[in-house]
Chains A and B, each alone.
Chain A
Amino acid sequence: MRKNLWGLIPIGIALLVWELFIRLNPHALWPGPGTVFLTFIGLLKSGELGIALFKSSIRVFLGLFLGTSFGFLLGLLMGTRKSVELWLSPLLSILYPIPALGWLPLLILWLGIGEKLPIALIFLCSFFPVLYNTLRGIKEVPQELIWASRVLGASKLRTLLQVVLPLALPNILTGLRLEAGMAWRTVLASEMIAIPSGIGAMMWKAESLMRVDVIIVALGVLGLACFLSERVFIWLENRCLKWKSSWKM
């Protein structure tokens, strides 16, 4: 608890420096923390912020869910079937390094401007990392453990479910945790460019209307959303991997 309180001090100092700077250089395009806070309350009361956040969250959730599911399934298939891995690896190695936003022009033409676009982008953003982390996780499972499980009479499915997957889980969850923040960044960019709703669209509109206070509120909310998403996955990691602390090979 005390550790957490220490972390609040730099935030307090940053706010103080911000306020001092604004007081010394007053300008409508540089709102102070007080103005930003009042705007935040106003946006919250009007429901504008809640609706925008809800819409972005749905997109992030759907995109992450689909990307994670497909990435996990294909990673599993590649990790357990050598032929599939050999067959798909070259193609995926070429596609993996392409940043999710690099697909945007192509997706605009293929899917058009609409609700499918941000979901597809987040799908791409999470699919490849989850796939690779699943594959790596499975590959890193010591072969001796798999042999031992099979020698002791476990079926292939049981070995997969009770030996391989639990041991691959840390890698999968780490990939997911890192991609959750990335998904928010991706949804923001796609909403700015293509979709007239959500946090990104709210920021884009505020830029057009020169409402710097609204932009700062949206940035703060985005930062918080990324932070909370990451926290959820850390919590999930801690819960799912409790066994790991007492387990030694």
Chain B
Amino acid sequence: MKKALLLFMLFPFYLWAQSLKISVEYNVHSLPAYVAFKKGLYEKNGLKVERIDSYITGVALVSAMTKGDVEVAYLCLAPAVLAFSNAGLKIKIVDQTHLYGFSVLVNPERIKNVEDLKREDLRIAVLREGTMSDLLLNYALRKSLLHPQVLKNVRRMNPPLALMALKKGEVDLAFLPEHWGSLAEGWGFRVILSAPHIWPGMPGSVIVVKEELLKKEPSLYERLKGINQASIAFIKKNPQESEKLMLEALTESIPVEVFERGLFLPSQEVIRRAISRCEYREGLEVKKVEEVIQFMNELGYLQKVPRPEELLLKGS
């Protein structure tokens, strides 16, 4: 009994003793995580974080999470739903980190205006099924912004490959998370539409924690939520410093899929544009989670359809 009491009292130190494994997607959606890391917000809240790992897409991140390599993830909502529904990963969503953050990038020689997007012969690059980019493409199809038959010309690839495909003329447009769209603007491509034009109120990324970790330390939920609020407040108050932090992070931690570092490294100007296409905002609405779950189910992506409450902690 005494032993148990001692363990209980010492438990908060567990979080100090063991480094928390945090991972993010390699794009500007991860800014709140990097702000928290670089400004010491994790430490201030009693969490030991030695480094943040980045993955090329949310789906890649979820794969790592199923293998036990990740405890806390900043990732898009759709892969989080997939992880819960199809991989049976016991996770909880703590909070939202941003809305939007996706762009439709076009080759201006092939597509001059939004009306041109309705051509049947267009070749499209998009991230794999179950990502928010893929959901945005399907949303655009539903809103008849694209020709219904264009799905047969959709090629699945990660962002660096999509940019190379655009560059080589193998595809005419791409649905990509930011900063990739803003990066390619510097190569002569054009962002013709952003997420708010296609899907008003489109949910972006969320913070996800493994349930077993929350059971061990329930205060982790409040701490991560508080850190997120502080990070977003910092981003809003210090836009230029945030840009620099993001640039630093994207330069330091590059996933292996970014095969040509020199080509894909963004400038601060690129980061500024990319950040302006994200709306960093905490407070996830249950109806937004429900909307995404329903949409994914309609697309046939979910093995079992979860209730939003199963994914959310009370008050997230």
Sorting the interface of chain A by its residue count into under 10, 10 to 19, 20 to 34 or 35 or more gives: 10 to 19
**Contact A208:B59 (CB < 8 A) given known A28-B88, A29-B87, A213-B303:** yes
A209 near B86 with CB under 8 A, answer yes
Whether the pair B303, A113 counts as a contact (CB closer than 8 A) is no
Inter-chain contact B87/A208, CB cutoff 8 Å: no
Produce 1/0 per residue, A176-210, CB < 8 A to B.
00000000000000000010110000001100111
Q: Does B170 contact A (CB under 8 A)?
A: yes
Closest residue of chain A to B88 (Cβ to Cβ) is A28
Residues of the B chain whose Cβ atoms lie less than 8 Å from the Cβ of A213: 303
B129 to A210, Cβ gap below 8 A? no
Q: Is the CB of A196 within 8 A of B82?
A: no
Q: Indicate if A211 sits at the interface (CB-CB under 8 A).
A: yes
Asked if B301 and A209 make an inter-chain contact with CB atoms under 8 angstroms apart, the answer reads yes
Contact of B152 among A112, A194, A196, A205 (CB under 8 A): A196
One of A27, A196, A208 near B155 (C-beta < 8 A): A196
Q: Is B33 an interface residue (CB 8 A)?
A: no
Q: How many residues of B contact A (CB 8 A)?
A: 23
The docked-state distance in angstroms from the alpha carbon of A46 to that of B300 is 11
Residues of A within 8 A of B59 (CB): 208
A113 near B86 with CB under 8 A, answer: no
Cβ contacts under 8 Å, B82 to chain A: 209-210
Name the CB-closest residue of A to B63: A210
A215 CB to closest chain B CB (Å) equals 11
Interface pair B128/A208, CB less than 8 Å apart: yes
Bound-state Cα–Cα, A210 to B155, Å: 19
Return A65 CB to nearest CB of chain B, in Å. 24
CB atoms of B156 and A209 under 8 A apart: no
Q: In the complex the two chains form, is A208's CB within 8 Å of B129's CB?
A: yes
Interfacial residues of chain B within 253-300, with CB under 8 A of chain A in the complex: 300
Cβ-neighbour of B130 out of A29, A196, A208 (below 8 A): A208
Which residues of chain B have C-beta atoms less than 8 A from A46's C-beta?
300
Q: Is B154 an interface residue (CB 8 A)?
A: yes
Q: Which of A13-38 contact B (CB under 8 A)?
A: 27-29
Residue of A28, A29, A205 near B129 (CB, 8 A) is A205
Interface residue ranges of A76-122 to B (CB < 8 Å): 112-113
Are B86 and A204 in contact, CB atoms less than 8 angstroms apart? no
What residues on A are CB-neighbors of B129 within 8 Å?
205, 208-209
B62 interface residue per 8 A CB criterion: yes
Complex CA gap A210/B82 in Å reads 7
A204-B66 contact given A28-B88, A29-B87, A211-B303, CB 8 Å threshold = no
**In the docked arrangement, what's the CA distance between A29 and B88, Å?**
7
Complex contact A210–B128 (CB within 8 A): no
A209 to B63, CA, bound (A): 10
Interchain Cβ contacts under 8 Å between A and B, 6 examples: A29-B88, A113-B155, A113-B170, A208-B129, A210-B66, A210-B86
Pick the 4 closest A-B CB pairs, nearest first.
Answer: A28-B88, A208-B128, A210-B86, A210-B87
- B positions within 8 Å CB-CB of A: 59, 62-63, 66, 82-83, 86-89, 128-131, 151-152, 154-156, 170, 300-301, 303
Q: A28-B88, A209-B130 are in contact. List 15 more A-B contacts (CB 8 A).
A: A27-B88, A28-B86, A29-B66, A29-B87, A196-B151, A208-B59, A208-B129, A209-B86, A209-B301, A210-B83, A210-B86, A210-B87, A211-B86, A211-B303, A213-B303
Residues of chain A at the chain B interface (Cβ within 8 Å): 27-29, 46, 112-113, 194, 196-197, 204-205, 208-211, 213
